[in-house]
Amino acid sequence: MLPSQALLPAVLFALAALRALASDTFLAAVYEHAVILPHATQEPVPASDALALMNRNMDVLEGAIKEAAQQGAHIIVTPEDGIYGWRFTRESIYPYLEDVPDPAVNWIPCTDPSRFGPAPVQERLSCMARNNSIYVVANIGDKKLCDSSDPSCPKDGRYQYNTDVVFDAQGKLVARYHKYNLFLGENQFNYPKEPEAVTFETPFGKFGIFTCFDILFYEPAVVLVSKMQVDTVLFPTAWMNVLPFLTAIEFHSAWAMGMGVNVLAANTHNTSMEMTGSGIYAPTGARAYSYNMKTEDGHLLIAELDAHPRLSPASPPAVSWNSYALSVERFSQNGHEFTGIIFEDPFTFTELTKPGGNVTVCQKDLCCHLSYKMAEKRDDEVYVLGAFDGLHVFEGQYYLQICTLLKCPSTNLSTCGQPVETAQTKFDMFSLSGTFGTSYIFPEVLYSGVQLAPGEFEVLADGRLINRNTTSKPVLSVTLFGRWYEKDPPSMDQASA
Ligand SMILES: *[C@@H]1O[C@H](CO)[C@@H](O)[C@H](O)[C@H]1NC(C)=O
Ligand SMILES: *[C@@H]1O[C@H](CO)[C@@H](O)[C@H](O)[C@H]1NC(C)=O
Ligand SMILES: *[C@@H]1O[C@H](CO)[C@@H](O)[C@H](O)[C@H]1NC(C)=O
Ligand SMILES: *[C@@H]1O[C@H](CO)[C@@H](O)[C@H](O)[C@H]1NC(C)=O
Ligand SMILES: *[C@@H]1O[C@H](CO)[C@@H](O)[C@H](O)[C@H]1NC(C)=O
């Protein structure tokens, strides 16, 4: 008998095992957490009170982590500020901070808790990961003591950082990221001196991590994707929704599509702060998401993702964002143009007066072309095509180029651009494109009730954002949200100096 034949099953088995080790897919979880907030106070509380509050939040997170692990999830992301909340001064957050070491030290806090001094929060997170054999991603506060030998040491003798941590399935600290683009009013924290591009490898792909406001800027978010080639971005956030373009589910899913990566976005949940919207986003659309302005509950999402979305056959083609728009003549105008304000930015609008047609609107160097057909033109609803090309200066400065088809809150044209959450008009067809000067474009489609439209639209290689079929729900907005990073003013680190 030939030995090779006898060996064949064993060889096949070994191959299968190897393939399973380097998985094609994995199960991801995100938990939207209704954070239990500390009492608003200027005075620092005793460390034991701070830990008690953080343990109450970690009790809730532990339930979600256990549930996710039982359902087979490999990794779970929890939100920014999810353990200690907000409303802090620099002094009052201090009792909540721990020294988070560089992951290069090779540390499992669960089995060696006091190696770097007291670290009860890291110990508990590490044990939750280890006990449940799941990667755990959380957001905590890091403190680093400094003295006058460091000329930029703050006068209270310490740096304080908004920090993401990742523990692997053995409980080992594998990533530490200090938030680079702090949001306005985050005065309890320091800016890190340099942006950190933090990545780590797993059997289910290469991961990168950043937080909240970071997603609007080049460093480190775009660097992680274009230079470090991560497959999946971990995104703890405390995101306040702003219609029509910057609701959490809408913008975060659009970033995943525009950048061609998976994004695991875990938001905090607080309806009075407009904080809701978490999701598991693939480049082709949301695999799972939640948006809940009705109750104050947390919510666990679990979904399967490709470990290497760029290698997937379903992966969208490389897009030349302005090639269609530059190739066509300006469509005829169908009426007068007017200015409307969105999030403090002056857009040029034109009304879609007919049930269908071809319309162009321009602002500065940006011309936006729309071909469309409404399922029915209603008298009680107004839609406009809008263009904006300029520096956004409200709550942060960043250069935008935006083409948008959107519903106005009323038939009064002066309301166009103001937030609206419901609509009645479905579209049989839309095709939106623009003469963009940047290649960083994030495609958004938002339906009535602030719902996403996964699988119902796509971007063609020539840059047209088109629907695949009559929209299954009425349309709030269809948008190409462009970021032109080179035109941003000097970066945040200089502002902090
Ligand atoms: C982890 O498991 C150990 C031993 O079973 C237990 O003592 C500990 O409380 C668990 N910790 C967490 C955070 O689950
Ligand atoms: C939501 O946040 C606000 C502002 O910080 C706070 O006053 C309120 O108590 C929070 N709501 C809940 C349900 O925790
Ligand atoms: C819009 O343009 C397309 C081709 O560019 C043309 O086929 C179509 O008839 C036009 N629609 C209207 C309503 O003008
Ligand atoms: C139209 O809307 C604007 C802005 O909301 C408002 O100031 C104006 O009074 C409205 N006009 C009418 C006729 O309702
Ligand atoms: C488009 O929608 C129609 C009506 O809802 C449906 O019958 C058809 O199967 C859909 N086509 C595709 C390709 O989804």
Sequence length of the chain is: 497
- Beta partners for residue 348, in sequence order: 339, 387
Residue numbers annotated as active site? 80, 179, 212
Flag whether pLDDT at 315 surpasses 90: no
Position 330 scores a pLDDT of 84
Q: Residue 174: CB partners within 8 Å, gap ≥ 6?
A: 103, 135, 166, 167, 168, 200
| Cα 244 from Cα 484, distance rounded (Å) | 19
**Angle CA(58)–CA(64)–CA(70) in degrees, nearest 5?**
130
Nearest CA to ligand 3 atom 11: 357
* Spacing, Cα 177 to ligand 4 middle (Å): 47
Task: Please state the atom number of ligand 3 nearest to the C-alpha of residue 357.
Answer: 13
Which tens digits make up the pLDDT trace of 142-201?
A: 999 999 999 999 999 999 999 999 999 999 999 999 999 999 989 999 999 999 999 999
Task: Tell whether the model's pLDDT for residue 241 goes beyond 60.
Answer: yes
Q: Is the CB of 130 under 6 A from ligand 1?
A: no
Task: State which ligand 5 atom lies nearest to the alpha carbon of 472.
Answer: 5
Residues 107, 456: Cα–Cα separation, whole Å: 45
Residue carrying the six token digits 């353990």: 83
Is there an atom of ligand 1 within 6 Å of 124 CB? Answer: yes
The predicted pLDDT at position 22 comes to 61
What band does 496 get if pLDDT is binned at 50, 70 and 90? very low
User: What is the helix (H) or strand (E) element at residue 288, kind and residue range?
Assistant: strand 285-290
Residues linked to residue 306 through DSSP beta bridges, in sequence order: 25
Task: For residue 490, give the 3-state DSSP assignment.
Answer: coil
Quick check: 54 and 96 in contact, CB under 8 A? yes
Helix axes 47-70, 120-132, angle to 10 degrees: 10
Percentage with pLDDT > 70 across the chain: 94
Give pLDDT, residue 334.
59
Span from the CA of 469 to the centroid of ligand 5 (angstroms) = 6
- Find the 37 Cα to ligand 2 centroid distance in Å: 7
Looking at the CA of 374, name the nearest ligand.
Answer: 3
pLDDT of residue 32: 98
Domain boundaries of the chain, sorted by first residue: 18-311, 323-496
The answer on pLDDT for 9 being more than 60 is no
Q: To which H or E segment does residue 208 belong?
A: strand 205-209
Those residues with Cβ within 8 angstroms of residue 308's Cβ, 6 or more apart along the chain or in another chain = 24, 205, 231
Task: Quote the tokens at residue 23.
Answer: 């998985």
Q: List pocket residues of ligand 4, CB cut-off 6 Å.
A: 412, 414-415
Going by alpha carbons, the residue nearest to atom 9 of ligand 2 is 37
The answer to whether 484 touches 365, Cβ cutoff 8 Å, is no
How far apart are the C-alpha atoms of 497 and 7, rounded to whole Å?
A: 66
What integer is the mean pLDDT of 352-362?
96
Report whether residue 131 contacts ligand 1, using a CB cutoff of 6 Å.
Answer: yes
Q: How confident is the model at residue 313 (pLDDT cuts 50, 70, 90)?
A: confident
Strands (E), 118-204: 135-145, 158-167, 173-178, 199-202
Query: What pLDDT, in 10s, does the model give residues 187-230?
Result: 999 999 999 999 999 999 999 999 999 999 999 999 999 999 99
Distance 62 CA to ligand 2 centre (A): 22
Residue 207: its pLDDT value, please? 98
Q: What is the model's pTM? A: 0.93
372 Cα–ligand 3 center, Å: 9
Strands 398-407 and 383-392: antiparallel
E strand map for 33-134 = 75-77
Q: Decide if 161 contacts 80 (C-beta within 8 A).
A: no
| Nearest residue by C-alpha to atom 14 in ligand 3 | 357
Say yes or no: CB of residue 469 within 6 Å of ligand 5. Answer: yes
Say whether pLDDT at 1 is over 60. Answer: no
Which residue has the CA at smallest separation from atom 10 of ligand 5?
A: 469
- Tell me, rounded to whole angstroms, the distance of Cα 91 from its chain centroid: 29
Phi and psi, residue 94, nearest 5°:
-55, -45
Q: Whose Cα sits closest to atom 9 in ligand 5?
A: 469
CA angle 44, 182, 402 (to 5 degrees): 150
Residue 178 in contact with ligand 1 by CB distance below 6 A: no
Task: Answer whether residue 2 shows pLDDT above 60.
Answer: no
Could you tell me if the CB of 355 is within 6 A of ligand 3?
no
How far, in Å, from the CA of 419 to the mean position of ligand 3? 31
* pLDDT over 50 at 3, yes or no: no
Q: Which ligand is nearest to the CA of 358?
A: 3
Task: Give residue 482 CA to ligand 3 midpoint distance, Å.
Answer: 26
pLDDT the model gives residue 251:
98
Closest CA to 423 of 354, 360, 376: 376
Residue among 57, 60, 61, 127 whose CB has most ligand 1 atoms within 8 A, to mutate: 127
Nearest ligand 2 atom to the CA of 86 is 5
- Of all protein residues, the one whose alpha carbon is nearest to atom 7 of ligand 4 is 414
Q: Is the pLDDT of residue 16 over 70?
A: no
Structure confidence by residue, pLDDT tens digits, 371-395: 999 999 999 999 999 999 999 999 9
pLDDT score for 420: 98
- Going from the Cα of 128 to the center of ligand 1, the distance in angstroms, rounded, reads 7
Question: Given this model, what pLDDT does residue 4 score?
Answer: 47
Q: What is the distance between the alpha carbons of residues 453 and 443, in angstroms, rounded to a whole number?
A: 11
Q: What is the pLDDT of residue 497?
A: 33
Other CB atoms within 10 A of residue 194 CB: 11
Q: Spell out the CATH class of 18-311.
A: alpha beta
How much is the mean pLDDT over the chain? Answer: 94
Residue among 412, 415, 418 to mutate when testing ligand 4 (max atoms within 8 A of CB): 412
**Closest C-alpha residue for ligand 1 atom 9:** 127
Q: Which atom of ligand 1 is nearest to the CA of 131?
A: 1
CB 406, CB 432: distance < 8 Å:
no
Residue 10, pLDDT score: 54
How far does residue 357's CA lie from ligand 5's centre (Å)?
Answer: 22
Minimum mean pLDDT among 33-42, 280-289, 337-346, 400-409: which range?
33-42
Sign of CA dihedral 80, 491, 253, 235: negative
Residues with CB under 6 A from ligand 2: 37, 87, 270, 272-273, 296
Residue with CA closest to ligand 5 atom 6: 469
**pLDDT recorded at residue 494:** 42
Q: Of all protein residues, whose CA lies closest to atom 9 belonging to ligand 3?
A: 357
The pairing of beta strand 205-209 with beta strand 232-237:
parallel
Whether 8 has a pLDDT exceeding 60, the answer reads no
Residues 6+ apart with CB under 8 A from 401: 366, 388, 389, 434, 436, 437, 438, 482, 483, 484
With CA atoms as reference, report the closest residue to 446 among 409, 474, 485, 486. Answer: 474
Please give the Cα distance from 263 to 256 (Å, whole number): 6
